[in-house]
Homo-oligomer: A and B are copies of this chain.
Amino acid sequence: MPLRIITISRQYGSAGRQIGRAVAEQLGIGYYDKELLQLLARQSGYTADFIAHSGEYSPASALDYAPLTAQMSGGEMYIPPTDLLVEDQNELILSIAEKESCVIVGRAADFLLRRRSDVLHIFVYGDEESRITRLMERGAVSDAAQAKHVIQDHDRNRKRHYRHYTGREWGEAANYHMMLNTSMLSPELCVDLIVKTFISVP
């Protein structure tokens, strides 16, 4: 079965989101990440009606949802989700996956879509040093000490969130088809490898 969907799980500061966005653009398919999905789920007012029609929200490129993302406070900051919101997001992801080919970054989408055979599950990670460097280049932090703190904080939260909602271990190889370490591999190379894989699997 040809692949239709890519999930990307990633350590904070590993460029996973940047990679996911570029993959979606190159393949010309939808792109969904935490910020967009949280916003869509909130805007829906948690109604089943919105979820049924969520296929309408299918941005073809990252730019399409920039105005939405801008409404969010905190940018990429971690927002502890409520169970209700998570449940709603999960239904939203399942509904999107039914309707279109897309890239989904984060949100334990790998777990949600684990039984489908047309989904490629990617994990993007890196050593702490390279992630600190990336955050500082991005201007997201004031110094290395803050970068380190933010990275450890995010990783701990993602790990905890993933374990709580899935019963599995975040970052464990068995849950993914390809794991890419951006300490060694450039984001551009990772995009190429993922795109190549997506179009190669028969």
Contact A201 B176 (CB under 8 A): no
Residues on B with C-beta less than 8 A from A196 are 189, 192-193, 196
**Are B123 and A173 in contact (CB-based, < 8 A)?**
yes
- Closest partner residue, chain B, to A125 (CB atom): B173
Q: Does A180 reach chain B (CB closer than 8 Å)?
A: yes
Tell me whether A181 and B178 are in contact (CB under 8 A).
Answer: yes
CB–CB B179/A197 < 8 A: no
A196 to chain B, nearest CB (A): 7
Contact present for A177 and B184 (CB under 8 Å): yes
User: Which residues of chain B are within 8 angstroms of A70 by Cβ–Cβ distance?
Assistant: none
Q: Does A64 contact B (CB under 8 A)?
A: no
Question: Can you name 5 A-B pairs with beta carbons within 8 Å?
Answer: A171-B173, A184-B201, A186-B200, A189-B196, A192-B196
Q: What is the interface of chain A, defined by CB distance below 8 A to chain B?
A: 120, 123, 125, 127, 171, 173-174, 176-181, 183-186, 189, 192-193, 196-197, 200-201
